[in-house]
Amino acid sequence: MARVNDSLLSNCTSGGCGAKIESEGLARLLAGLSADSGQNLLVGYDASDDAAVYRLDGEYSLVSTVDFFPPMIDDARTFGRIAAANALSDVWAMGGRPILALNLVCFPEAMDKKILADILAGGAEKITEAGAALGGGHSIYDREPKYGLAVTGIVETSKALRNNTPKTGHKLILTKPLGVGIVMAALRAGMADEDAVRRATASMERLNRYACEAMAGFDVSACTDVTGFGLLVHALEMAGDSAAVMLYPDALPFIPEAAGYANEYLLTAAGQRNRNRVEKLISVSRLPFAVQELMFDPQTSGGLLIAVSAREAEELARRITDAGDCSAAIIGEIVPRQGNAPIIFR
């Protein structure tokens, strides 16, 4: 069999959460499914939430999620850490705690298996850091490398968080900087600054465990992690049918170089899909182009978007920052829906 190029990026056409199917198309596909959810399935696929929640008894529920994607960076161990951090994040977005992970692997048959070993080692590092157990997994040969996890977590049922239950008046905290998708696009084009790549990589490897743990005891009404659908699509899901999200564009944390890359049109197809989804409902035309693109940018292993009581927002942002998420910032608030606009800008 002919040897394939052992560069991860040269063996895939897209990477990270930018490879996701667009949210609107996915919703149409899922709408046609018919399955018995049962009375114990508290959160299912119909909710567009981060994970499924299944009630075990009167006190606890399981949180179940799965996530995998092609690489966005050539270093195999780094890719493994990022993919694992991203998959584990959905449990924390629901307010839960990961307890078990299973590897999901697609790998070219002719590619050096040492690369796969490094990917798995990186993933195992993050599973260990998360306090979860690695229980095995499944692997197949494929033309493109892909890696991720199926994760099971646990949560007190009364404390499970949803992505679309924000209370009016609550403030919004974003725990990680935007722009990692744009930086990775610049990296593929050979135009990324080393410091920008280092900042993006560190953000993607960072577990959302610490931000989730910081939320304990606070009046949090909704939470989601910002991933491939970008900030604006996730904000759209959070607004739901009755509330609106007011964002503060000047307060958005982002990787500094990403704004410059956006102005040079180093963008992603997934970002354009996110733009197509949101622009049917809101106008972003008065915002600077770079700010628009940062909000559409698909985030791989992005931060948590948290709706918390206004009186507690500054304290929670401080605690999250003290826990190590140094870019955590208050970026908006939940306001009553006026007209048909689910997202507005201050």
Segment (H or E) for 103: strand 97-107
| Strand pairing category for 243-247 and 146-156 | unpaired
| Residue in the block written with tokens 């899901």 | 237
In a 10 Å sphere around its CB, with 0-12 CB exposed, 13-18 middle and 19+ buried, how is residue 3 labelled? Answer: exposed
Ramachandran quadrant class, 302 (left: phi over 0; alpha: psi -120 to 50; beta: rest): beta
**CB 338: neighbour CB atoms within 10 A?**
8
Buried b (16+ CB within 10 A) or exposed e, 79-117: bbbbbbbbbbbbbbbbbbbbbbbbbbbbbbeebeeebbe
Catalytic sites, residue numbers: 17
Structure tokens at 275: 């733009």
